[in-house]
Amino acid sequence: MRTLRLAMAQINTTVGDLEGNTARVLEYIQRAKAQEADLVAFPEMVLTGYPPEDLLFKPSFIQANIQRMDEVVAHSQGITVVVGFVDSRGDIHNAAAVARDGQLLGIYHKIYLPNYGVFDEERYFKAGSECPVFVINGISIGVNICEDIWYALGPTAVQREAGAEVIVNINASPYYAGKRGFRERMVATRASDNQVYTSYTNMVGGQDELVFDGGSMAFDQRGELIARGKQFQEDLVVVDLDLEAALRYRLRDPRPRKERHILGTVGSPQVVHVSDYAPGKPKIALGPSVSEPLEPLAEIYSALVLGTRDYVLKTGFQKVVMGLSGGIDSSLTAAIAVDALGKENVLGVAMPSRYSAESSLLDARALAHNLGIEMITVPIEEAFKAMLHTLLDPFRGTKPDVTEENLQTRIRGNILMALSNKIGWLVLTTGNKSEVSTGYTTLYGDMAGGFAVIKDVPKTLVYKLARHRNAHGQPKNAIPTSVMEKAPTAELRPNQTDQDTLPPYDVLDRILQAYVEEDRSFADMVDMGFDQETVQRVITMVDRNEYKRRQSPPGVKITPRALGRDRRLPIVNRYKQF
């Protein structure tokens, strides 16, 4: 019986760390060998990390990555290795090298280059034109990369027509909420439509604003899931493929034969014959390798934790400092930071003003106690008085307004940055997507920092994640109940609440979903039942504050349309919808 033991190595790499990434690949090759795998697949551009962006304009970087690929090839004794790298034949290509027994068998160049959302691959790469199939030990294996698998009549169909029995697709597919199910349905469809085993090896880890969630998977010729890796963790997923069963199934279905006349527009097939089938020694059968997927809130929370951990550690920091106001946003951010870095690596700073309620300070202290983090208190009253005195003459004849409010948050930003400079800890900001979208944030104030953990988390989701953390985190119920029950407030003037300036968050977030995520027009949103005046106000706030968002720190992407990389609007913009 012809079988293939396939290993999918979803590993956490760092952009530009060619030495470290290569060492990780070599480690997992040995782990795959220890499990008697015949083939081990690594993620897309695993040697360079993804996305390397303008590092690709540096010839020395390209050459160094090719040298690392050669090193991986030399370590492929006794196993087939599929590894992502950047090739430079003629032009540069997003490529996959296929090696065995110390020999480079061939290279696949990615054909479909994504150039939307967070992807800019057409900026860097030339598209490939060949769809190779490698016959190794009598088993025909087609290799392609990420976007290539999303096309029904793409490289997979060409490779199937050239005899491929197994498709090995390698990926750097970034996370957003709900994407796992979308991916699985798509890969299952490719497998069943082409009657081939189809594997999908995905990267894991955080890179700037992106998080790669792993969840590598394999489907049989019927489109049934036979393996799934862990989410948000490194994993080596190993599965046995019964090629005889796939062949019997395939012979009974003539549908693919009718597509031959249109496949030539995709890429030319190429068969690389390496070795005929030769039975090996029997292997101990593997048990099921299907990890259970996380529930939606657990999935999002895990993405925030991983994205925070990797951003902090990969940029060379170990510890973080953040303001603790006693509010829901700073409380959730603190909990995420503790889960990402450990309680000993998080410092909370309470900075009360004349408008801070005593209950807010008590809530901040309770949170710090529950999480086990150190908290210091730095009152801002004297600094605020000094600023008001300094500006007394320039402000003479004017009434207090948002200017005086912003002075307070800018003082707090200065304190946090001063602590960061002095002790070398990275500042985490605590603004959520609802605030960032509408500009309900202070430039050089609460926006000052190195990483914005919940920048892509709408306010209504902040509450859901806080309840999730209280129910499932350690310790449980770390975020005080009083924090979740009180009305949100910036506490920058007497008796202030967020709803003095913003619509209720349940309304605001639905409008922002329609406008920011779905690009709906003003007329569309009014037709959806939203109040016309409210929609006008929200659109105006969103459009007017693009200049602020351009100056905000990066943050974890968890929605399909994150502000920044996904949504790029001009700052100077006179287009009006009403």
**Which residues are the active-site residues?**
44, 110, 146
Q: Of 203, 210, 193, 180, nearest to 291 (Cα)?
A: 180
Q: Please tell me the distance from the alpha carbon of residue 289 to that of residue 282, in angstroms, as a whole number.
A: 20
Residue 289 has φ and ψ, to the nearest 5°, of -130, 55
Structure token digits, residue 482: 């009083």
Instruction: Specify the pairing of strand 225-228 against strand 217-219.
Output: antiparallel
Query: What single-letter DSSP state applies at residue 231?
Result: B
Beta bridge partners of 533: none
In angstroms, the CA 569 to CA 173 distance is 24
Strands 80-87 and 93-100 turn out to be antiparallel
Distance CA 284, CA 36 (A): 9
Task: List the structure tokens of 121.
Answer: 């691959």
Contact call for residues 60 and 96 (beta carbons, < 8 A): no
Report, in this order, helix, strand and coil percent for the chain, each rounded to 5. Answer: 40, 20, 40
Exposed / middle / buried, residue 396 (Cβ in 10 Å: 0-12, 13-18, 19+): exposed
335 within 8 A of 371, measured Cβ to Cβ:
yes
Bridge partners (DSSP) of residue 270 are 132
